[in-house]
Amino acid sequence: MHRDLKPENILMDTDGHVMLTDFGLAKEFDENKRSNSMCGTTEYMAPEIVKGKGHDKAADWWSVGILLYEMLTGKPPFLGGKGKIQQKIVKDKIKLPQFLSNEAHALLKGLLQKEPERRLGSGPSGAEEIKSHKWFKGMNWKKLEAREVKPSFKPEVSGRQCIANFDKCWTDMSVLDSPASSPSSDPKANPFTNFTYVRPPPSFLNQTT
């Protein structure tokens, strides 16, 4: 599982093919196990992650549904402050714009099921449920994986190391080292001395409607 699918983590290579980045929250799962971590970016979190009740690979398919909604409409379905977004993810029904096709409606409804066991992609055939959906009719997945499908957009770059498409606020930043002190060899030593952070509960639980 990637567990942090969002536009910022989806880049294009020099030929226009999509590449996933930032696997800092990724985790390998056994089919019958779940994770209880509170992780990801709020707008793209699945309901089961927000509620802290454990999640599996189905959480990624929810994030794919949010991404698809955003790419088709121009904005994610849930907006507001962090706590408000969490509340909406758990409680609100997603409204699908009428200008989307019937096939897009069906795919989004399948991906954005609040119950993970009913979500498209969480069945025994996994991703094949999504790849065989009628919205993807005509897609040759083997050719796509082999990079034989020509991308509809190719970025203008001067080479593989070109950074022209990245905002200068990032590329002009100086590189800073932040070396950590060597851990103590004493098995009784507390490596988290002076740490005060305690993870708060999901903020939507503290709100009333």
- Cβ atoms 120, 77 nearer than 8 A: no
The span from the CA of 59 to the CA of 1, in Å, is 8
* Strands 10-12 and 18-20, bridge-based pairing: antiparallel
Angle 205-208-209 from CA coordinates, rounded to 5°: 125
Active-site annotation holder among 4, 30, 60, 177? 4
* SS3 at position 109: helix
Would you call 13 a catalytic residue per the annotation?
no
Token code pair at residue 99 = 């200008």
- Cβ atoms 86, 203 nearer than 8 A: yes
In the block, which residue shows the tokens 């196990």? 33
Catalytic residue numbers? 4
